[in-house]
Structure 1
Amino acid sequence: MLLIKILLGLIGLGVVVFVHELGHFLAARLVGIDVEAFSIGWGKPILKKKVGNVEYRLGIFPIGGYCKMRGENEFQEAYENRSNAIPQAKGTFYGVSPLRRIVVAFAGPGFNFLFTILVLSIIWGIGFEVSTLDNRIVLVSDISPGETYPADQGGLKTGDKIIDINGNPVTNYHDIQELIATNPEKNLPVQVQRDGKVLDLMVRPDLDKSSGAGKIGVYFWSEPVISAVTGGSPADIAGLRPGDRITRINGEDFSYTVALFRILRSQPPVLSVDFEREGRPMQADLILSYTDTGTADIGVSYEHLQFHSPRLSPVSALIKGGKESWKTFVLSVKSLTLLFRGIDLTQAVSGPVRITYMLGDVAAEGFGQSFGAGISSMANFLALISIALGIMNLLPLPVLDGGLIVLFIIEIIKRKPLNPKYISVFQTVGVVLIFGLMIFAVFGDILFLTRR
């Protein structure tokens, strides 16, 4: 399974990088810059073929890629030769106007944004299926007493159905997660349904410094109806089956699945489980074993709600895809700003290894439900990664596309070519920064994988 996840992740990440580099490639040729090589992956090519004047490559390391344009490094040669000017031969990167170079630099992120719109439009056009949970909540303090959370302070109670947050209607836990996670340390008006009444409350999410997301201290309500039983697990040995509804465990009412966390806290060796099968009450005993961390897996999965989207017309799908892309863009920018609020960067910043794993994990979990769910899950995560890649590359940092755009804007303002020395120093600083960030991200990835 791990190999499948990695393979799916590499394919997905490769697609996003291909789209980014394709933007640079097409824009370069459009404005008159010769492209010498186009590669998916880094390192020594394991496959290569020259078509016209362009060599197409597949690198040995399947993460990343590049579009090598003629003369793009001539600033370095000019600096080493102590020249005050960069050669501007026809067909080279610096042989075209700075405005055209800006077009080429922006085209990579621009294609990532267009790709996101295209992917989300297709998904909404063909329709998709999402597995989700109810918008009812369970207070963490009811499962693990002893600590007060924002949900408790705001007056929420277990069983409340959240129907609106900050003026945004919510229908499932995905909606709630999104609105809470992106608004840490902000007062959020919350409407809930409780005992047939609608109550107006106020909640202020805490900032989770391990992830940069807001949290209020709630679990999401899931009905205790078994959807799958793991072979050889305690539940399987005891005879539980998909479709069984658990009603009591060790004499305690079992209305929602996270109640099991509370029951297992004392590490009972046996669980006495009352359940219903086709309306008939039954009972079984589960013999448990615990890990060194004090956790136990009884071996069951529970039923989720299935949301089926309508199939939209091409025009409606395109409009919806554009709106969802903008929403993803805004959420990504919000998430980026949270990096500067004292969070644990080793957990919040993902490198290529973690992104590959997460992408493959999302895809594998989706395909485990159905082919359609797998495609929609992977497509939505690809759209998120594509937007994030576009935003990151537009940051005004050396080496990144945004840094190059800043340089060329300065060149336009000054109305004369930049000195190769300044470009070299600017790019060298960028290489050091990016290399340091990559080491930091990979270190975080290693910590992440050791926790799996």
Structure 2
Amino acid sequence: MNFVFALIALSFLIFFHELGHFLVARLFGVKVEVFSIGFGKKLFKKTYGDTEYALSLIPLGGYVKMKGQDDSDPLSKNADLDSYTSKTPFQRILILLAGPFFNIFLAFLIYVGFSYGNHQVLLPIVGGLQKDMPAEQSGILIGDRILEINGNVLKTWFDLAHIIQETKDKATFKIQRGEEVLEVGILPFEVERTNPFGEKVKIPAIGISPSGEMGNVYCGVFDALRLGIWQTIANGTLIIQGIEKLIVGVVPTSELGGVVGIVQVMNKAQENGIAQFLALVALISINLGVLNLFPIPALDGGHILFNLYELIMRRPLNEKAMYYLTLLGWGILLGLMCLGFYNDLNRIFKE
């Protein structure tokens, strides 16, 4: 049952992506011929207005079929006013951007929902000091609570760690020691750490560890929105970096996963509670949004690139070039899908 729920959740993310295309296409007067939940044979279909709404056999997302758009023939055009191909390049770009934007916006909403309200958090209280590191040398003691760094108020240990890692120069720390509030200046040292991609990197550190003390912190609307934006940007950046590392060979291609692997991970996340499951859903939603913006002709990013060319050069890309680039894009996409599927099966049989 959990597996089915994970599959439905993944399907919803792709459906939500297509919903973005659908709504903006309708906004610009494009006729949407089909809006399908799932792929393959249509199990149920009903026409409302100009659109056929369908429930199809394979529940992995869905698709929107716009008038004048034909993925099997990228050169086809329709001059009718309600056709996708009759719209200006700028309008088509907005239609294409809507899908990825909806995925990223959905993740943002999940992060905001998580952040708002009362939470039990790890407090920024010092529980350990490393010898000969900046914190010890500055006079910070175990039990000190760090209130601010350079005027930035700290509510959690996560806030503290994040700000320290972004600090390059000497910073002013405001600390509470019993009833007394003190200010100390600390210049972080660069220490070697292993990043999520297995690379050795140098990051600023001051040599402290948390006490483990938890506390109740309230996060209001504006703080929740700020944290939602920050988490969305941070995770989107991490995904882009991961793709970059995959391209240059830092991350092996064996780490690439497909639909089976994603559903497996989502299924396992459910066992750790709804919070972890929704956090993973948000991350996968950002992943779908970011990946679809990559300039591969079979993806939204590739079509955006074609339309940007037409917008700037005031003429469409050469038909022959567009045709072969589209075929190349589909080849790349199918190759990646096959590799991901192979890796998923390989991992399953090794377990």
Alignment correspondent of 1:25: 22
2:294 to 395, 402, 422: 395
Shift in Å, 1:434:
0.1
Q: RMSD of the alignment, in Å?
A: 4.5
Q: Distance in 1 between matches of 2:52 and 2:219?
A: 41
Could you say what secondary structure the match of 2:272 adopts?
helix
Q: Distance in 2 between matches of 1:11 and 1:130?
A: 31
2:257 to 341, 350, 357: 350
1:39 to 18, 36, 40: 36
Alignment correspondent of 2:228: 321
Please give the per-residue CA displacement for 1:208-263, whole angstroms capped at 9, x wherever unaligned. Answer: 76x779799xxxx9xxxxxxxxxxxxxxxxxxxxxxxxxxxxxxxxxxxxxxxxxx
2:331 to 432, 435, 441: 432
Alignment correspondent of 1:124: 115
Q: Does 1:61 align with 2:58?
A: yes
Contact 2:192 2:200 in 1 (8 A): no
Q: Distance in 2 between matches of 1:203 and 1:399?
A: 43
Q: Does 1:112 align with 2:112?
A: no
Q: Distance in 2 between matches of 1:175 and 1:9?
A: 34
2:94 to 84, 98, 103: 103
CA distance 1:173–1:90, change in 2 (3 Å): closer
Shift in Å, 1:135:
9.7
Q: Considering only CA atoms, is the larger Rg found in Structure 1 or Structure 2?
A: 1
Q: Distance in 2 between matches of 1:78 and 1:339?
A: 32
Aligned residues between the structures: 327
Alignment correspondent of 1:203: 191
Q: How does 1:209-358 map to 2 (within 5 A)?
A: 310-313=218-221, 315-358=222-265
Q: Distance in 2 between matches of 1:24 and 1:323?
A: 25
Q: Distance in 1 between matches of 2:71 and 2:258?
A: 30
1:310 is aligned with what amino acid? Answer: Y
Contact 1:8 1:363 in 2 (8 A): no
Q: Distance in 2 between matches of 1:306 and 1:442?
A: 42
Could you say what secondary structure the match of 1:44 adopts?
strand
Could you say what secondary structure the match of 1:310 adopts?
strand
Q: Distance in 2 between matches of 1:103 and 1:199?
A: 46
Q: Distance in 1 between matches of 2:107 and 2:272?
A: 21
Contact 2:112 2:228 in 1 (8 A): yes
Could you say what secondary structure the match of 1:205 adopts?
strand
Could you say what secondary structure the match of 2:62 adopts?
strand
Shift in Å, 1:102:
0.4
Contact 1:351 1:445 in 2 (8 A): yes
Contact 1:101 1:408 in 2 (8 A): yes
Q: Which sits farther off after the overlay, 386-395 or 54-63?
A: 54-63
Q: Distance in 1 between matches of 2:265 and 2:296?
A: 26
Q: Distance in 2 between matches of 1:411 and 1:129?
A: 52
Q: Which has the higher contact order (CA 8 A, sep 6+)?
A: 1
Task: Name the % identity.
Answer: 30
2:309 to 368, 392, 410: 410
Q: Distance in 1 between matches of 2:349 and 2:48?
A: 44
Shift in Å, 1:436:
0.2
2:266 to 359, 365, 369: 359
- In structure 1, list runs of 5 or more residues that go unmatched: 80-85, 138-150, 155-159, 190-197, 222-303, 367-373
TM-score of the superposition, structure 2-length normalised? 0.74
1:91 to 77, 82, 104: 82
1:88 is aligned with what amino acid? Answer: A
Shift in Å, 1:412:
1.6
Displaced runs of 4+ in structure 1, greater than 6 A?
Answer: 134-137, 167-177, 211-216, 304-307
Contact 2:242 2:251 in 1 (8 A): no
TM-score of the superposition, structure 1-length normalised? 0.59
Q: Distance in 1 between matches of 2:263 and 2:291?
A: 17
CA distance 1:349–1:129, change in 2 (3 Å): farther
